[in-house]
Structures are given as C-alpha cells and as structure tokens.
C-alpha cells in the first residue's frame, strides 16, 4: 500500500496541469495566421465532386433511352406455318389408317366418322 500516496500525487499533478492548460490563452495573432493559411491554400476538390455530374447525367439519359426503346419497339413476329397446304389432310389420313387397324368396339363410331370425312375430302 506504499503506492497510494504516489497515486494521489500523480492525480493532483494531472488535475493541476489540465486546469492550467484549459486556462491558457492562444498566442496573439494565432487566429489570423490560421485564417490566412487556409485562404492561401488552393481549394482542392475531390475527383468525385468534379466528375459526378458529368458521369451520372449522361448515364441516366442513356438508361432512359434504352428503357424507352425496349418498351416501344416492335418485336419481329414469327411467320405462321401454312396450315392450308395439306397438313390437315395428312393428319386425317394418318388418323384414318390408325383407326382402321383393329379398331376396338369403343372406337368404332370414330372410325365411321373418319371414313365419312375422308370420303368428303376425296370428293372435293
């Protein structure tokens, strides 16, 4: 417990030094020198402040143009296959052949309808 008097002394010295430091006045003309130094320095702008408007404005315009082009442009339409060229007839012939082979009793009405359709097609 020998350290207690030293700890108290150190605390007193620190308190005294801090109170004197807080009461100290700056040297005469210090404020004027600081202000003059700040005025004499060139103003430095960061590259971001300089380039920000010149980069973002064209980018925003380009983005708007791209979106507008995508929204209002017509997409090419795929050509429709020509079904009138006989594809239906080929399909009916294939169905007719399938039906005429060993037709189960449940499909006999469909076989008759297919025969009628193929007869009508042949007549025209």
Domain residue spans of the chain: 3-71, 83-123
Mutual orientation of helices 108-123 and 87-100 as an angle, nearest 10°?
A: 140
| 3-52 residue pLDDT tens | 688 888 888 998 888 888 877 777 778 888 888 888 888 777 666 666 67
| 74-96 residue pLDDT tens | 877 777 666 555 666 777 777 77
Q: How confident is the model at residue 61 (pLDDT cuts 50, 70, 90)?
A: very high
How is residue 119 written in tokens? 């007869």
pLDDT of residue 62: 94
Task: Give me the mean pLDDT over the 51-59 stretch.
Answer: 79
Burial of 75 (C-beta count, 10 Å sphere; 0-12/13-18/19+): exposed
């Amino acid at each position: 417990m020998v350290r207690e008097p030293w700890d108290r002394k150190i605390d007193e010295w620190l308190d005294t030094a801090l109170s004197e430091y807080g009461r100290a006045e700056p040297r005469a003309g210090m404020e004027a020198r600081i202000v003059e130094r700040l005025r004499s320095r060139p103003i430095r702008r960061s590259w971001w402040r300089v380039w920000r408007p010149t980069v973002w404005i064209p980018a925003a315009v380009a983005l708007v143009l791209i979106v507008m082009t995508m929204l209002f442009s017509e997409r090419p339409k795929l050509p429709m296959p020509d079904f009138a060229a006989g594809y239906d007839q080929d399909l009916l012939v294939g169905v007719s052949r399938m039906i005429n082979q060993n037709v189960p009793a449940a499909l006999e009405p469909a076989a008759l309808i297919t025969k009628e359709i193929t007869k009508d097609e042949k007549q025209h």
